[in-house]
Each structure stands twice: as C-alpha cells, then as structure tokens.
Structure 1
Amino acid sequence: MTNLATLLEDSVAKYGDRDAIVLGDTRLTYAAVDQFANMCANLLVERGIKPGDKVALTCPNLPFFSIVYYGILKAGATVVPLNVLLKGREVAYHLDDADVKAYFCFEGTPDLPMAKAGHEGFTATEGCEHFFVITADLGAASPIEGTETMAGAMLTQSPEFTSVATDDADTAVILYTSGTTGQPKGAELTHSNMLSNALSGADLFNADAEHPDTYLCVLPLFHSFGQTVIQNGAFAYGGTVVMLPRFEAEPALQLMAREKVTFFAGVPTMYWGLLGVLDDSGVDVQDLAANLRVAVSGGAALPVEVHKEFERRFGVTILEGYGLSETSPVASFSVYGEPVRVGSIGPAIPGVQMKLIKDDWSDSEPGEIGEIAIKGPNVMKGYHGRPEATAEAIHDGWFRTGDLARVDEDGWYYIVDRSKDMIIRGGYNVYPREVEETLLTHPDVSLCAVIGVPHDSHGEEIKAVVIRNPGAGVTEAELVAWAKEQMAAYKYPRIVEFRDSLPMTSTGKILKRELS
C-alpha cells in the first residue's frame, strides 16, 4: 500500500512514544497524533466521504493541520490545503474547482478570521456538504452560529482505524498554483509522488532515524515546501516538528535554542530576518550553532551576502534547492557535505532528471540558457479538470517549469530568471494575471498591469500601473485599500501608479519590461 499516511503509521510502530509535534508547552507523541488522525478518518467516513473525494483544509502551523491532513489520507480521500490568507471569494473558487466535499477551517484570530472567510466560501459553494471549525480550545463553541466544531464532531469517534489502501496513481494532495496566467490550477500529486519526494528529501540531508532531527516549522504547511520537506520529511524518520504558527525572527531564534533545533528550512527573507535580530535576541549563538545541523533555503534566490553571513555566524552552509508545487516539490538541491556553490540550486535529486529546453521542447545547446524541464517520480499527474493545461505543461513525461537557467559541467543548475511574469513576495508566488483580473472589477479601473519591483525585505513588492476610466476619481490609497479587501494579504498591490497609457506591442500586448 502506498498511502501517504504510512509515513505516520510506520513511525508510530517504531517510535510511538517519541515527540512528533511540539507547540509551545504542548507535546504530542506519534501515537497521539495517529489516534487523533484515526478519529478524523472515522468522522469523514461517518459523514459519507468516500475514497477519492476531496477534503479541504485551512489551518496555520498547528498540530491540527497534521492531524486532519493524515486523517483525510487515512480515509482514502484527497487533501486540498488552502492558503490561510484567502478571502471568502477566493475560498469559494478553490472549493468549487476542486469539487470539495468537506472543509476543515481554523477559527483564526481577530485580525485574521479564517473561519469567517472560510464559511463565506463554503456557503457560496454547492458541492461542499460539511463544514468543521477548528477551535484552539477543544471545548469551545463554534464562533459561527449554526456550524459544528471539529472537536465536537471528532472526539466521539474511535481512535482506531484501518487506513484505506490506495494505488500509486491515486491523488493524495491537490496543491493550487496559477502558473503565470489565469485562475489558480490544482496540481494533482499522487501518493507515490508525495511519498517518494518526502523520502528522497530526507535522504538528501542524511536523516537518521536513530538520531532524529528536530525541525523548526516556520514554512507554512499548506505550501509544498513546508509540507514535504518539514512535515512529511520529519515523519518519515521519526523526527520532531516544532511548530511556529507565524514567523517572527526573535521568537524563532528563542524556539531554536529552547528545543535544540537541528534542521531549519526557510525562504531567504527568513534568513535575513534571523540575522537582523541575532545580536539583540539574547540567544547564545554558539549554542544555536552547536545544535544546528542542516539549513536549507528555497522559494527565491538567496542573496550572496545573507548566505555568507549566516555561514559565518552559525558555521552551517545554507543548502539551496529548487522545486514547484507540480514537482511535489523538490527537484534539485545542493549536495549535503559538498562544497557550496553560491547561487546554485544544485543538481537534480536522485531519481529525478532535469534538462534545459527551447520553446519547441527541443534540448538547448550546451552552454545555452534554457527553460528547466523535469521528469521523474515527483512530477504531478496533471492539473485537476484541465486536460489542455496539462498537455501544455507535460510532454513525454517532461514538465516544463517556465524558469530559465544555465547548467555547469557537473550538472549543477543556476536560475537565470523566474517565470516571465511571476512575482515572488516574501517567498509567496504572486501571479499578476490573477491580481489584474481582480483590479479590473473595480468600476474606476480601465486597464492595468501588475509587476514586481525590488524590495529590501520582501525581495519584491507588488505594483499596479493603472489607467482609470474617464472621469474616475479613485486615489492610489483608495485603490490599495479596496484591493486589500478583495485579495489575500500577500497578493494585493501596495504600490499604485496612475498613467494615461501603457506601453504596447504591435499586437496589443502590454510591454511589462518597460514598466518599473
């Protein structure tokens, strides 16, 4: 059986008394996580969820995420993790597009009321039949009248469950990604995709079940990086996942010291943040360095100075890697134990092939910059409900990434440019077309182009260049405030510039390279 839930179940059999998840003073053993996941699976089966059905999950880095995630898998259903920052309209789109049958949503906080937005999306969806609010206090009532809590529904269930047998090609997880155009698309990742990538990733860093790592989980678990490299990678070898629901540099350092963290994975802005508060944090850097074994970075290019300074202060070389939601995600990584090549995303991981191609799918010439294509057990089976988009992205088993790179004589890759239009803000992928289409629903907006502009801490900031309708009076501040209400926090433009015209090609396409 290749059910991804075997990662948890195998570790329960071997290391049931080990700490699997730590959150503050709460420590859950592998046995406890498994029992709670079994209760969740029993709940889903009781409510009529069948193998292959889609179940959505909105939850920050809390133990509930892993419990529900593995519970869904145990029931033979497919997990659809959703970004915790999505607004009601966006949630509704994802629930509809994925044909979701049940939805678990964390109650959120006063400044980020996830359950409210989630319920707005749920009520706008016809096919989703069950809505469960995850409350931090298991004895609390639902904050939304007329809805039930996960705890109230689940804790009466049996802690015993026999996981549904799944095939290699069955979909385990649907991760949403936009590519560079149109609405978000759901990448269908199979049990085999996710299982092989979790095991390969752990092997890359010399994971040892007899001397398990302690992982600091600051990457969001709804994202493929945190899900595979941290959660699934740790569970594959009986490691401990120390959760931090929201990244803040100083609390992260203090948690690393308290829990003797040996494995840290983050996006470049997180490393930048840690270095910025290191001297004033009150944490003994030597103790941190003595514990830290592995540091990995992905999601965006790591600045050379950050790379060098981290190695100087911690004595650990940051390993850079590369991947996409469509590749489960890990496709390449710098090699643990080998001299670092600053700026490189490393060679393809074992079992995975990478090459550079031209627009027509033919191989690039040696020494030529080309588009990265990936083939292997990590490549998705396709975009949910989008056969044409799948056919455009995958040819003869090769997935084209849209990212341009060069490769050296040893097979180490170097990203030259990201996908043509994609913006990476603080490690989050932002797709201009989606933002543009939302802005165009404003009555005062006639035409717009969304671009990324350099930003000291976020890497890139989102800027909208807008042509107003004749006589329209919306101001920059008003349009930003409106956009904030319509889009997730990482998507909406903080900068708006009004122009009378936009540069165009002869065929009417906007020349974004001429905007700044």
Structure 2
Amino acid sequence: MSNLISNLGCIGTQFRDKGHLAVIDLYDPEHPREIDYPTYNANCDAVARGLLNRGLSAGDRVGVYCSNRLEFLEVFFGAMRVGVVPVMMGILQPADTIAWIVQDTGLKMVFCEAALQQNLPQGTLAVIVDADGEDGLSAFKDFGAVEYFQPEYDSTAFVAYTSGSTGRPKGALLSHRAHSWVARTISQERFFCPDDTMIVAAPLYHKHAMNSIKCVLYGGSTVVLLRKFDARIYVDAINRYKATVVSGVPTIFAMILQQRELLAGNDYSFVRLATMGGAPASDQLIDSVAELFPNAQINLIFGITETSAALFGRHPENLPRPRHSVGYPVKGNEFRLVGGEDENFGVLHVRGPGMMSGYLNNPQEMARRFDEDGWFNTGDILRRDEHGWYFFVGRSDDMFTSSGHNIYPAEVELVLERHEDIEQAAVVPAPHEIKHTVPYAFVVMRAGSGMTEEDVKAHVLRNAPPYQHPRRVMFINALPMTTVGKVDRRFLEAEARRIQKEEDARKESA
C-alpha cells in the first residue's frame, strides 16, 4: 500500500492478483478488448522495464500522443512506476504546437499512433503504439518484475498542458504526492469499488478523464474506454456493460438524452452516480437525467488542472447537497473569494494538498497566477451560501459588461434552458457602439418546436433582469464543442461579431 500512496503509477497494483476487468477498450467498438488487472499491471511493468532498458531514468520525460486506448494507460502509468515523467499531448493540437511541446519539455521519446507521427518534429524518437514492428510498443515492452521508484516530496509524476493566455499552452507540473492524494480523496468521496463500471469518453490528455481513470484504478473498478465521445456508442456501452457511473459535461448529457430510440424501454436503475462538470446544468437537464437514471446520485463537480478536482465534495455531516452546488470544501483545502461585493462572492483563490508544483519554464505565468503566500487564482467565479456550500457562477474571462452591468453567461443560459422548448443554449457578447457589448444567444430547440426569436427574448425578460435578455437569437442544430467536450465559446463569439458586422453593413447601405 505504501507504493499506492507514494507513487501515482502504482495505483491499481493492489489488485494485480485479482482476475476482474480493469479496462474494456472500445477504440474499435466492433472488436472490444477486455483486460483484467493482472494483465494491465504486467503491461505497465513491461513499459517501465522497456524505458529502463533504453537508458531512461527518473526525471526524464516522454510524450503520450495518442487517442483514448489501452496503450495510453499502459505508457502513462508504466512510466511513472520508474519515475519517468509522461507528458500528455493533445491529439488535435496543430503540428507547430506539438513541436513546441516536444522542445519545451525536452522529451526523450514520444509514444504515438502511426497516423500522428507525421506531426512530430523531424528526428523525434517515436514508439508506435498501434504497430507490431521493431518501432512498435509490443517490441518495446520487456515483461518481468521491476523495482518501483520512490518519489520525494515534490517529485513530478506527470505534466499536463492547459490552455494559455498567450496562445501557448502551459505545462502544469503535477506531483506523485499531490495526485496520489487526489486519487484517494475523489475515489473515497464517490465510493468507487470493484463492483463499479465507469464509462470514460473524454480525452485522456484532459484532467476530467484522467481523474476518472485514477478513481477507477484506486477503487479496483472497471473502465469502459471510448476513443472519443459518440452519443450512440456511449448509450450502447451503458446498456451492454451496465455502467454504474456515468460522467461528462452537461452538453454530453444533453446529447445522450437525444438518443431516445436507444434509451427507450431500458431500465437504468443500475446507474448509481452521474457526475457533471465544466459548466452549470439547468434544472430541466438535471430533472431529465434523474428521470433516466432513477437511482443515481447526480453531482455537479468542479476542478481545474492546476488545483485538481479534489476541492469540493460531501458535507462532513452528510447533509444533503443543494441542487446546483458543486459541493462542500474537502478537508485540507483553503478557499477565499476575491473581488466580489462581499466574502461570499468572487474569483476563487485556492491553497491545498492537490496543487500543482508549478508551470514548466513559465515564471511569468507563475507570478500572474500565484501570490507570495501560495494562493492560486483559478479565474473562476463562485458564490458561497450561508451553510458553506459553493456554487459555480462562471469564468471571469467569460464575463462581459453591458451598460455597466456584469453579465455572467452561465446565469443567462440557465434561464434560457428552463424553457421547455430549449434543449441547450450558449450566450456570448457581441459589440455594441453604445452599450459596449450586448448578449447574443445561440439556441438548440427541441424537435418540433415552433418558438421564435421574440419568444426567446420574452422568456428571458420575464425571468431575468432586462439587461440580460439576448438582443439576437440564432437557432442552430447543435452547439459547437471543443476537443474536451465543452461549448466552444470563442467560435461563437467570432460568429456573433460576424453577424453584428453584417447587420451594421446592411444599415449603412440602406
């Protein structure tokens, strides 16, 4: 058990003698791969031995550059077992960003899929995870016993790149100590055990999916791993594998609920937990998820790469969580809300045991986000009620002003999604010569709805302050999503500016 706590790569080794499934790999849904805990652990050890055989040692870095698949997990956790630091690389990043990451981190080699190798800088040593030749992962592995690395207090476990304000992503240094605590805390908060099966469809290079994997391995559970999110494959996996835990951003749950034919007539009483993160969820969405999964506890979750997802959880006295709360502070964390009208509203600043050690080669960003006392500015706006429960309001960089009023898009979106004919909505700013900016709404209507733009505006005017009502409403078939499943607000903002510019041009020519 000491290895489990001190070395993040060793999570799951306590089940190496248990024969139940660790991973069901649906990279190819027609040909699932089912891997038990003994096989999974043997493969991780074989990767670790392969790294040592090629002269790598603790502190060296390797890239993990592939889609969701078993091999991602084997390399990621196997490398950490001998202190080699895996660097997670987004598969949809442009080639110049990939080249910059290779240089920024000083990678010794990159484990990648054959189709992605062309994006690597010339001369990069690559191990192909989906090839059987001399440069493939199968040939790289060396099966046998291995001595696990014993981390020091802040030994880096892995590096995760998160979006940067200057156009370049930031490399967060995440330690064995911090993320062993994170894995243990989240798994215990959500009661993961060997009877659980969880579906993971978000990209593994993103914090949400990797936190889920750590919970699964800590609890000895089974993960059903999808190459990427596909609503039909996701629902089919729930049905086929009787998943007890489902998770995703609210947009993903909305897309699951649209699979009415696949869902119809099935009993989902076996689902015990549904977690939603990344954005607020409307009452209508929560009610629909609760109706679909009648025995599931529905938790809104909150976390960011730099501070982990082990910030909020259950009340210590097991008091019921308010519907829209992201939870009660997990013991060991410190919080303060800055810049609001009082101490119960503002931008969340955090100190806690799950914090990153710093940004790689980026002292400017460190100085911008950390103060001299070690408080980290998350950039997220939260509020706290009189009982100590926290509620997510929005990103500070998503907030915009209109005639001096602060508008938080998430608040307007919740109002919009309370309408029975609106499935999803996104609100973004559009330029205005007098008011500076005004809200524009992009709306996905329910099938068969006949609502108009004026109907939408009237609904918001009835249920929110006048300055929040959208000045334009665009009906679309689906909201655009980023690679990690969140609404692509930057794309919609550009679209709003384009629409406003066209309107201004028409007025000038009239």
- TM-score normalised to the size of structure 1? 0.73
How big is the shift at 1:65? 1.1
The 8 Å contact of residues 21 and 28 in structure 1, kept in 2 or not, is answered as yes
2:306 to 326, 339, 353: 326
The 8 Å contact of residues 320 and 333 in structure 1, kept in 2 or not, is answered as no
1:343 to 316, 324, 331: 324
**Whole-Å separation in 2 of the counterparts to 1:453 and 1:397:** 38
SS at match of 1:291: coil
**Whole-Å separation in 2 of the counterparts to 1:499 and 1:271:** 29
1:150 to 137, 147, 151: 137
Cα displacement string for residues 302-346 of structure 1 (whole angstroms, at most 9, x for unaligned residues): 222111111122212420011101013332246697534233211
Does residue 181 of structure 2 align to residue 199 of structure 1?
no
Does residue 144 of structure 2 align to residue 159 of structure 1?
yes
Instruction: Structure 2: state its 5+ residue gaps.
Output: 27-31, 400-408, 411-427, 429-437, 446-481, 502-510
Q: Percent identity?
A: 25
Equivalent positions of 1:342-491 (< 5 A) are: 342-358=323-339, 365-367=342-344, 369-395=345-371, 396-421=373-398, 454-456=441-443
Does residue 5 of structure 2 align to residue 6 of structure 1?
no
How big is the shift at 1:221? 1.3
CA RMSD of superposed structures (Å): 3.1
The 8 Å contact of residues 254 and 283 in structure 1, kept in 2 or not, is answered as no
**Whole-Å separation in 1 of the counterparts to 2:311 and 2:328:** 8
**Whole-Å separation in 1 of the counterparts to 2:326 and 2:388:** 10
Q: Could you say if the C-alpha distance between residues 29 and 491 of structure 1 is closer, same or farther in structure 2, counting changes exceeding 3 Å? A: farther
The residue number in structure 2 matching 1:213 is 196
The 8 Å contact of residues 216 and 242 in structure 1, kept in 2 or not, is answered as yes
The 8 Å contact of residues 11 and 236 in structure 1, kept in 2 or not, is answered as no
Q: Could you say if the C-alpha distance between residues 339 and 491 of structure 1 is closer, same or farther in structure 2, counting changes exceeding 3 Å? A: closer
The residue number in structure 2 matching 1:259 is 241
The residue number in structure 2 matching 1:464 is none
Q: Could you say if the C-alpha distance between residues 454 and 61 of structure 1 is closer, same or farther in structure 2, counting changes exceeding 3 Å? A: farther
SS at match of 1:330: coil
How big is the shift at 1:208? 3.4
The 8 Å contact of residues 122 and 131 in structure 1, kept in 2 or not, is answered as no
**Whole-Å separation in 1 of the counterparts to 2:68 and 2:172:** 22
1:237 to 209, 219, 235: 219
How big is the shift at 1:419? 3.0
The residue number in structure 1 matching 2:127 is 132
SS at match of 2:108: strand
Does residue 85 of structure 2 align to residue 78 of structure 1?
yes
SS at match of 1:232: helix
Cα displacement string for residues 221-253 of structure 1 (whole angstroms, at most 9, x for unaligned residues): 11111101x211110111001111121112211
Cα displacement string for residues 152-204 of structure 1 (whole angstroms, at most 9, x for unaligned residues): 332xx233222222123101111111343442111111001111111110111
How big is the shift at 1:18? 1.6
1:247 to 207, 211, 229: 229
Instruction: Structure 1: state its 5+ residue gaps.
Output: 108-112, 142-146, 425-431, 433-450, 459-483, 502-516
The residue number in structure 1 matching 2:292 is 313
The residue number in structure 1 matching 2:275 is 296
Does residue 102 of structure 2 align to residue 95 of structure 1?
yes
The 8 Å contact of residues 213 and 262 in structure 1, kept in 2 or not, is answered as yes
1:35 to 25, 42, 45: 42
The 8 Å contact of residues 204 and 335 in structure 1, kept in 2 or not, is answered as no
How big is the shift at 1:500? 12
**Whole-Å separation in 2 of the counterparts to 1:162 and 1:299:** 38
**Whole-Å separation in 2 of the counterparts to 1:282 and 1:493:** 31
**Whole-Å separation in 1 of the counterparts to 2:349 and 2:12:** 32
**Whole-Å separation in 2 of the counterparts to 1:82 and 1:491:** 22
The 8 Å contact of residues 347 and 396 in structure 2, kept in 1 or not, is answered as no
Q: Could you say if the C-alpha distance between residues 92 and 293 of structure 1 is closer, same or farther in structure 2, counting changes exceeding 3 Å? A: same
Q: Could you say if the C-alpha distance between residues 132 and 238 of structure 1 is closer, same or farther in structure 2, counting changes exceeding 3 Å? A: same
Amino acid corresponding to residue 322 of structure 2 in structure 1 = R
